[in-house]
Structures are given as C-alpha cells and as structure tokens.
C-alpha cells in the first residue's frame, strides 16, 4: 500500500513537471527575448524603446479610460438591478442567468459584427462613438461583473439592511448608495479588477471597431519590431498577474466567488 502511494506520487510529480515546463518555458522565453534587443548582451533597451514610444502611453491611457468608463457604467447598471431582483423580483432570476450566459454563446467577433450592422446607419449612428466600444466591453465583462455583485449580495443580509434603512426614513436611492454599495465594496472591487483586466488586453472589439487601444497597439508593434513586442507582452502579463492577485486577495473575503474565464 505504502509503495503504491509512492509510485502514484511519482506519476503526479511527472505530470506536474510536464505541465510546469509547458507553462513556464514560454514565459521565460518571452522575458529572455525581451532582453536581447542589444546584440550580445542582456539589456532593457526594448523596454526603454516601448516606454519612449508616445503611442504606448496614448493607447495605454485610452484603454485605461475605457475600462474606467466600462466599470462605472457597469456598476450603475448592474448594482441597482441585482439588488432589485434579490429583494423584489426573484422571478426574474432565470432571465438574468440567461442574459449573463449569452456573452459566452455569442463570441466577441460575432457580437461586434452584429453591433456594426445595427449601429452603422441611422437612427443610431454609434459606430464612431466610444459609447459603442464601452457598451461592447460591458457586454464582455457582464457575466463577471454581475456574478461578483450577485455573490456579494448573497453574502449580506440585504433584507434586514433595507428594512432598517427604510424604518429610518431612507429613500431607495439613499439605500442603494449609502447602505448597499458600501457593503458590496469587496465584490464590486473584484468585479472591477476583472473588467479592468479584460478591457486592457482586449483586441477583437477595439481592432474591429478601429480604436487606438492597447490590444491593437501590441499587435501593430509586432509587424514592425522584433524585441519590443516581447517587452510589451511581459508588461501586459505583469498587469494581468497584478490584477488577478488583487482579485484573489479580495475574493478570499467573499465566499463562493467564481473564477474568471478567459478573453480569447
């Protein structure tokens, strides 16, 4: 019996090592590649070049702005709705489940195709407005943002909070802004970080709607430069790593938080 355990463990180590190699080698190779801009020595030249390029700052800021707008719009739209469904309209729950599942059924490329079809002619000329991009990003982030607010609402006793606030004479907007929102801080923040990570790395929507965002910039750079794209990939990976670490820290405070899936 003991022997069997040991051999089982050897197999486990083997699979783990294979997996680790598959996952670590490309990361190592990217870092290594990004340091080779100067022939014959390791240097940070590629990083310096990236940071010097004004388009890096511009596209980065653009994407950061878009993610902020997406997060704010998302919170305004989702928090009152999720709250209302919890407290008054639990019957609508399946509808919400369906809506939050839909972004997985309709791939980004297909969604952007549909959006362009509708919003590129009157009465709704939105194609050249950043509002359409924010809306598209919000659809991408919707499942994560909604789920994280939903689990947050489940973990607090909103009924008692609402009744207490009402008995003190609070109106609905006051309840949502001053009672519910502060209690949802952790889950809203975690949803916001997911949204941030999604928007910063997003390529499909931004590129097909022709916006100078960070994702398309990374792709554009790869056609003209050799080492700089790797430096960008390292920066982008660090960004994802940082936000995921933040989410992990936060979700420890919210039990039952779902893991976020990818943005392919």
Partner 1 sequence: MPFLIFAFAFLILPTLNIIIGSFQDATGAFTLENISQLSQPIVLSAYLTSIELSLVTAVAGGLFGFLIAYAIVLGGLPRWLQSAVITFSGVASNFAGVPLAFAFISTLGRLGLVSVLLKSVFGIDIYQAGFSLYNFLGLSLTYIYFQIPLMILIITPALEGLRSEWREAAENLGATPLVYWQRVALPILLPNLLATMVLLFGNAFGAYATAYALTGGTINLVTILIGNQITGDVLNNPGLGNSLSLGMIVIMALSIGGYTLLGQRTSRWIK
Instruction: Count CA atoms closer than 13 A to 2's CA, side-chain side.
Output: 0
103 binds partner 1 (CB under 8 A): yes
Distance CA 233, CA 240 (A): 10
Q: Which is nearer to partner 1, 165 or 218 (CB)?
A: 218
Q: Which of 104, 167, 169, 182 binds partner 1 (CB under 8 A)?
A: 104
Residue partners of 50: CB distance under 8 A and separation at least 6: 56, 221, 228, 231, 232, 235
Rule CB under 8 A: is residue 263 a binding residue for partner 1?
Answer: yes
Task: Say if residue 157 is exposed, middle or buried (CB neighbours under 10 Å; 0-12, 13-18, 19+).
Answer: exposed
Q: Which is nearer to partner 1, 125 or 168 (CB)?
A: 125
Sketch the per residue contact string, 153 through 192, with partner 1: x for CB under 8 A, - otherwise: ----------------------------------------
The distance of closest approach from Cβ of residue 91 to partner 1 in the complex, given in angstroms and rounded to an integer, is: 14
Binding marks (x or -) toward partner 1, 120..159, rule CB under 8 A? ---------------xx-xx--x-----------------
112 is an interface residue for partner 1 by CB under 8 A: yes
Q: Contact with partner 1 (CB under 8 A): which of 23, 57, 125, 168?
A: 23
Least separation, in Å, of the C-beta of 175 and partner 1?
Answer: 17
Residues 195-224 that bind partner 1 (CB under 8 A): 197, 201-204, 207-208, 215, 218-219, 222-223
> Are 93 and 85 a contacting pair, CB within 8 Å?
yes
Task: Confirm if 250 and 190 have CB atoms less than 8 A apart.
Answer: yes
Residue 260 CA neighbour count, 13 Å, CB half:
28
């Amino acid at each position: 019996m003991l022997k069997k355990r040991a051999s089982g463990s050897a197999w486990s180590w083997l699979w783990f090592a294979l997996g680790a190699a598959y996952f670590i080698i490309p990361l190592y190779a990217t870092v290594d590649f990004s340091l080779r801009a100067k022939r014959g020595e390791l240097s940070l030249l590629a990083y310096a070049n990236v940071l010097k390029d004004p388009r890096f700052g511009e596209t980065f800021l653009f994407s950061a702005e878009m993610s902020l707008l997406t997060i704010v719009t998302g919170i305004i739209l989702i928090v009152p709705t999720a709250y209302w469904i919890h407290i008054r309209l639990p019957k609508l729950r399946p509808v919400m489940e369906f809506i939050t599942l839909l972004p997985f059924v309709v791939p980004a490329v297909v969604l952007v195709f549909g959006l362009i079809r509708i919003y590129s002619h009157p009465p709704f000329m939105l194609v050249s407005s950043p509002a359409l991009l924010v809306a598209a990003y919000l659809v991408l982030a919707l499942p994560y943002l909604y789920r994280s607010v939903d689990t947050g609402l489940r973990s607090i006793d909103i009924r008692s909070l609402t009744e207490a606030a009402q008995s003190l004479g609070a109106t609905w907007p006051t309840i949502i802004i001053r009672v519910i929102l502060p209690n949802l801080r952790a889950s809203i923040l975690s949803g916001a970080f997911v949204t941030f990570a999604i928007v910063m790395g997003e390529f499909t929507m931004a590129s097909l709607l022709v916006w100078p965002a960070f994702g398309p910039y990374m792709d554009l750079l790869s056609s003209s430069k050799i080492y700089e794209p790797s430096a960008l990939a390292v920066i982008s990976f660090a960004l994802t790593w940082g936000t995921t670490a933040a989410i992990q820290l936060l979700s420890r405070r919210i039990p039952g938080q779902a893991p976020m899936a990818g943005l392919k």
